[in-house]
Structure 1
Amino acid sequence: MQSSTEGRQNNSRRQSALAARINDIDALRGGALLLILLVNIAYFASGYAFHLVRDPDHSDFDRMVFMAVELLFAMKAYLLFSFLFGYSFTLQLESAARRGVSFTPRFLRRLSGLFLIGALHAVLLFHGDILTTYALLGLVLLAVRRIAPRTALLAAAWIVGLIAFLSGIAAVLGTTLVPDTAAAIEAGARSTAAMQGGFGSVVLEHLRSLPAMLGGLAVQGPLAFSAFLVGLAAGKRRMLADVAAHRALLHRIEVVGYPVGLAGATVFAVGGGTSNLTSLMVSVLTAPFLAAAYAATMLRLFQRRRWIADALAPAGRMALSNYLGQSLVCVIIFTGAGFGLAGHTPPAQVLLLALAIFVGQVAVSAWWLRRFRYGPVEWGLRAWTNRERTALRR
């Protein structure tokens, strides 16, 4: 009788530990959602950002706000999200193994569904979509799923180094991403005017922007995959299975990550951001340090303030729905399909809107998951992946 009671207690402790682990991962994903929104919302608020130039009507204060976003979040937010994609991949592998089901066919269906959702997202809502890139890179991740953690980390470092090297060579050769600033400013004005039009005008602008977006993936794609590999290595080492046991490591990541990352981010922001290949090279090398430091800080904070993790976790649990929801809300706020505020909202107000949107998503996510098992888009993707409709309502 005593051993039966102890067995139940041990099982309860294991379930509690598993729930805490998943909660930390979901909360970290929720934090990444906020960082993603703080970067992406600028591309809804103005057409100039997509053409890598500043709005000529911005004041000095507006430029300072824009520079602060580039310094703190640009080139870092999607790395954190990509890391979590790689880490979650290992959890999906473990889940398939426990249930004794074939992983590859299901994951391929998941990627195909993700690609379709991303393609619709890119055309209808946001031309800076990342889901299609994730779907394609997921094929490579599937192919290398048996890679050893150490090898994965070395491969990630080589990818980052190669992209930085190529960016540096291009800068030395005099290559510029904005060869004609006046023409880019003119194109930015046209894009802003198109966004202020109706929904058809917005979709046409997205279609016109697709070639430039695909060109930008030459840098973003490999860097996202390098973060996949780091997440894969961390997942295989079960780094987030017991966050409290890795406090010393997380502290070291902060001690190294913040000085290196912020120094590189300062060079990146002051040097012209993604429009300058030299500053881009510096950011490629240092942004992973700052992204890692952000993750370490959030994880340590979650251990001290569990209520923060509990608040963010529902938003992270339905991250796909929230990512698409962010774009939908921004289309309504900024384009002519809604309130038409594109080109009329200063960067500081844009950031306040981003915070308001995210707070709303946190509240709605908690409300939704009290009533339903999955986010709406997650439920649809799950049904496509598993070829069965699971119950949505609790």
Structure 2
Amino acid sequence: MKNLTSPLPASERIILLDILRGFAIFGILMVNMKIFIHPVSVMMLKPSLDQPLFLLIPDLLIRFLFEGKFYTLFSLLFGYGFWIFLNKKAVTGSIIPVYRRRLTVLLLIGVLHIVLLWAGDILFFYAIFGFFLLLFRKLSDTKVAVWGLVLILLPAIIMALTWGMMVLGSSFPEGKAAIDASAAESSRTISEMIERSRLAYGHGSFSEIVNARINEWIALLPGLLFFYPAVLGTFLFGMLAARKNLAVSNAANASFFRKCLPLSLPIGIAGEAVYTYASWHAEMAMPGGMSVLASFSHAVGAPALTLSYIGLIIILFEKGRLSRLWNALVPVGRMALTNYLLQSLICTTIFLSYGLGLSGKLNTLQGIALVVLIFSLQIFYSRYWISEFRFGPAEWVWRRLTYLSPVSFRTKRR
């Protein structure tokens, strides 16, 4: 049995998990680029259709192919890793305190990421909900699946109930007036915050940028009910996948995903087509019919399309196709935390006033080109780093603080 304080050796890593992590890092940057270019709080506004077709189409494609699919993939991988970590063999003691310390360190990294780099951080809430995963670890597969499904649908259900109460309230003149006034006030507040953030990010000092970033993060907190329950539900399905060893490359798993594709792909395409249309016409800050439709279609379509992406990768990998692509993604995935943080560091340096000051100055196509450039550089950087070191820099710090013992950093030379 392994010592409790030993991280997983590189030779025992599951290569498909690293490929999927690398793929997720690319998709996350593609989605996040728009909210690196603009303040994070623009997510609270209704998307604008008043733009040239050559810019509208890429926006729609990002929403259809990327948005929601890659945080779903990242969440599945988090749940998968949770189960692997909790099932490490140990000579003495329990793995649970080590797991809690691991999450506490991730929580602190998330706080620093929010304060120093970007308000769109996911690490903070991944750590918070990672603690909740402990409550589900002894449940049967069926109960885990039921809980996962309920949690994934919960945001859409909350959205529908909220809209229903607003419709009911609007049936009375006094209620309608109050709801209209609240909507107008909310829209005004959001618009003012976006303008303050734009001014700070484009021309402010570092302290002004930090203050604007924290204000944006706080303003986004109410959206917690409409987002993170689904993340926890996805964690659970990732845990379930780990119980079934679905990321292990073998003919049985390839056959499983091949059977899933004829169902998951059309459901994913249909669900995300509806989501793309509905979300483009929805008032994001105030629930309505379109936002409810977008929420339910996304709750079904995003996981289905994500499953299709995973299935295609696993099938192609098992057949030995696109091996150069998988080889490029493995180093990126092995240092996924470093690359996630590095994307924030690079993009904030490009867009904020203490860097190149390009905040709000790039369009969607230019943003896509920048994504390709940054990710290409990350591939080369990751390949070099992993050839010299066992872990990415952020991964090494995470492990060192988790295990509270020396962790070898450099790759052993012959």
Contact 2:49 2:56 (C-alpha < 8 Å) held by counterparts: no
Q: Superposed, which structure 2 residues align to 1:234-249 within 5 Å? A: 234-249=241-256
Contact 1:23 1:309 (C-alpha < 8 Å) held by counterparts: no
Q: Superposed, which structure 2 residues align to 1:64-75 within 5 Å? A: 64-75=57-68
Instruction: Report the more deviating stretch, 20-29 or 108-117.
Output: 20-29
What RMSD in Å do the two structures reach over aligned CA positions?
Answer: 2.4
- SS of equivalent residue, structure 1 residue 389: coil
Q: Is 2:356 the counterpart of 1:329?
A: no
1:250 is displaced (CA, Å) by 0.8
2:226 corresponds, among 219, 228, 237, to: 219
Q: Superposed, which structure 2 residues align to 1:162-311 within 5 Å? A: 162-174=154-166, 179-180=183-184, 184-197=190-203, 198-273=205-280, 275=284, 276-303=291-318, 304-305=320-321, 306-311=323-328
**Counterpart for residue 106 of structure 2:** 114
How far, CA to CA, are the matches of 1:203 and 1:24 in structure 2?
A: 38
1:101 is displaced (CA, Å) by 5.1
- SS of equivalent residue, structure 2 residue 56: helix
1:278 partner amino acid: L
1:133 partner amino acid: F
1:21 is displaced (CA, Å) by 6.5
How far, CA to CA, are the matches of 1:216 and 1:107 in structure 2?
A: 27
**Counterpart for residue 30 of structure 2:** 38
Where does the alignment leave 5 or more consecutive residues of structure 2 unmatched?
1-9, 168-178, 285-290
Q: Superposed, which structure 2 residues align to 1:80-119 within 5 Å? A: 80-95=73-88, 97=89, 102-119=94-111
How many positions carry a matched residue from both structures?
376
Contact 1:85 1:228 (C-alpha < 8 Å) held by counterparts: yes
**Counterpart for residue 72 of structure 2:** 79
1:132 corresponds, among 124, 127, 137, to: 124
Contact 1:167 1:278 (C-alpha < 8 Å) held by counterparts: no
| Partner deviation per Cα, 1:8-45 (whole Å, 9 max, x = no partner) | xxxxxxxxxx9596111101111011111111111110
How far, CA to CA, are the matches of 2:292 and 2:209 in structure 1?
A: 29
Percent of aligned pairs with the same residue?
A: 32
- SS of equivalent residue, structure 1 residue 179: helix
TM-score (norm 1): 0.88
Change (3 A) 1:266 1:129: same
Q: Is 2:396 the counterpart of 1:376?
A: no
1:34 partner amino acid: F
Change (3 A) 1:172 1:68: farther
**Counterpart for residue 287 of structure 2:** none
**Counterpart for residue 313 of structure 1:** 330
2:226 partner amino acid: V
TM-score (norm 2): 0.84
How far, CA to CA, are the matches of 1:19 and 1:307 in structure 2?
A: 20
Contact 2:271 2:298 (C-alpha < 8 Å) held by counterparts: yes
How far, CA to CA, are the matches of 1:32 and 1:164 in structure 2?
A: 24
How far, CA to CA, are the matches of 1:171 and 1:300 in structure 2?
A: 42
1:380 is displaced (CA, Å) by 0.6
Contact 1:42 1:347 (C-alpha < 8 Å) held by counterparts: yes
